[in-house]
Homo-oligomer: A and B are copies of this chain.
Amino acid sequence: MALINENYLKLPGSYLFSEIARRVEAYKTANPEANIIRLGIGDVTKPLPEAVIKSLHNAVDEMADEKTFKGYGPEQGYDFLLKKIIEFDFNPRGVELAIDEIFVSDGSKSDTANFQEIFGLNNKIAITDPVYPVYVDSNVMAGRSGTLGADGKWTDMVYIPCTAENGFVPQIPTEKVDLIYLCFPNNPTGTTISKTELKKWVDYAKVNQAIILYDAAYEAYIQEDDVPHSIYEIAGAKEVAIEFRSFSKNAGFTGTRCSYVVVPKEVMGYTESGEPIEINKLWNRRHCTKFNGVPYIIQKGAEAVYTTAGQQQIKALVEYYMANAKMIREGVASKGIEVFGGINAPYIWLKTPTGMDSWTFFDKLLTEVNIVGTPGVGFGPNGEGYFRLTAFGSKENTEEAIRRFTTEFKI
C-alpha cells in the first residue's frame, strides 16, 4: 500500500491568497463597475531590461545553430554567470567567494524550500514572525513542525516576533535553535537589519554551531548606507551562513526564473556524533541529483544584468518601484497611520488603525476605495493588526490608489 507523507495533511490550505481572491471576486461580482487596484502581490510589472532582452535573443540564436547549441550544462550554473555574480555582487563589498560556492537555480522560493532537505529532522527551526510562508511550509512537509496550535504557531518551531514594539529587530531566542531563517530587507515588513544586530546572530550561530539561512532576495532595494547587502559583510558569517539571492526583484525575473544560493565551504553541519560535514558538499549532491540546471538562455539573460547597460537598467527599475514605495509610505503616513518599511524595500507594512484586525482592514480598503492589499496575519500570528502594500504596481495605479486612500478612505 502506497503510504503518503502524512506531514502534508497537517498543512492548512493555502488560505491567504485564495481567501484574498475569493473576497475580491465576491466584491467584483456585486460591484462589476469597480476599478480595483491591486497592491497585494509581490510580483513585478515592468518589462525585462533591454540588455537582458538582447542577451536572451542572442542566446536563442545560439540554440538554433549546431555549432553553438547547448545541451545539458553544469547543474550549478555556467562559469560565465558564476564569475559575474562574484565580481559584481560580492567582491565590491569585500566578500571573496570561489566559483563552486555559488549554485545557480530557478528561484529563491525553490531554494529556500529545498535547502532544509540536507538537514536532519531533529533540528530546532527558528523563524521570524511575520514570515514568508515557504520557510514554514517546507519544514512542515519535511516533518520538523510538530502540530499547529490554536495560536497559529507550530509547536516545534521557534517564533521570533518582529513587530513595532521591538522595532522589527529579531531578538536571540532563549530556547536554543539550530537553523535560523532570516530575510532582510524583510518580506513582508520591508524593514532591514543593522550590521550590529546581524552580527549578534552570526555570533550566536558560531557559538551554538547553528546555521543561518539568509534570504537577501530584496537586496537591490537597499538605499541607505550601512545596511548590509550580504550577510557575508559580517565577520565570521562565511562559517555559519547560507545566502539566497534572486534576479526576480532586481531585474524583473519573476516570470523568467533565475536565482542563486551561496554556500561557503567553511559552513559545517554535524552528524549526531558531532562530526563536522561540509554543507557545500551536501548541497552540491542534492542540487545535482534533484535538479538539472537553469536553461542556458535564461542564464545568458541573467548574465546581461551585469553589463554596464544592465546595471543602469536594473537601477532604473528599482528607482521606479521605490518612487512608488515613497508615495505609498507618505500617503499612508499622512492619514496618521503608523507605517514601516518602504525605505530599503518595495514593501510597506502598516499598523492597522484603531486596533482593527488585518482582515477587517482588508475588507474596508477593498470596499471603500477598491484597493487590494495583504492582511498581515497571513504571514504569521505576529502579523495580526498589520497590513502589507507593495510598490510593484505601475506609477499611475499607485498614484490613483494613494489619491483614493488619502482623500476617500475613512479612518
Contact = CB atoms under 8 A, between A and B. Distances in A.
Contact of A3 (B113, B120, B137): B120
Interface string A235-267: 000000000000000001011110000000000
A286 B9 CA distance: 12
A134 interface: yes
A8 B283 CA distance: 10
A261 B106 CA distance: 18
Nearest to A392: B71
Contacts of A31: none
A66 B134 CA distance: 29
A6 interface: yes
A297 interface: yes
Interface in A268-287: 268-272, 274, 277, 279, 282, 285-286
A323 to B, nearest CB: 16
Contacts of A60: 53, 56-57, 60
A63 interface: yes
B3 A122 contact: yes
A43 B271 CA distance: 37
Given A6-B120, A178-B3, A292-B110, A69 B57 contact: no
A307 interface: no
Interface stretch (A162-170, A203-211, A360-368): A203-211
B48 A63 contact: yes
A295 interface: yes
Given A47-B63, A72-B43, A141-B286, A270 B57 contact: no
Contacts of A107: 291-292
A39 to B, nearest CB: 14
Q: Could you say which of A4, A117, A138, A209 has the most chain B C-beta atoms within 10 Å of its C-beta? A: A4
Contacts of A70: 255
Interface string A110-145: 100110011111110000000000100110010000
A333 interface: no
Contacts of A208: 1
A256 B5 contact: no
Contacts of A198: none
A270 B1 CA distance: 7
B8 A137 contact: no
A271 B119 contact: no
B2 A255 contact: no
A271 B6 CA distance: 7
A355 B14 CA distance: 58
A121 to B, nearest CB: 8
A45 interface: yes
Given A1-B208, A50-B64, A123-B3, A8 B118 contact: yes
Contacts of A63: 47-48, 53, 56, 255-256
A294 interface: yes
A73 interface: yes
A410 interface: no
A398 to B, nearest CB: 14
A107 B292 CA distance: 7
B296 A179 contact: no
A109 interface: yes
19 contacts: A1-B270, A1-B274, A2-B119, A3-B178, A3-B272, A5-B118, A6-B272, A8-B282, A44-B71, A47-B66, A72-B255, A109-B290, A109-B291, A109-B292, A113-B290, A138-B289, A138-B290, A256-B297, A257-B292
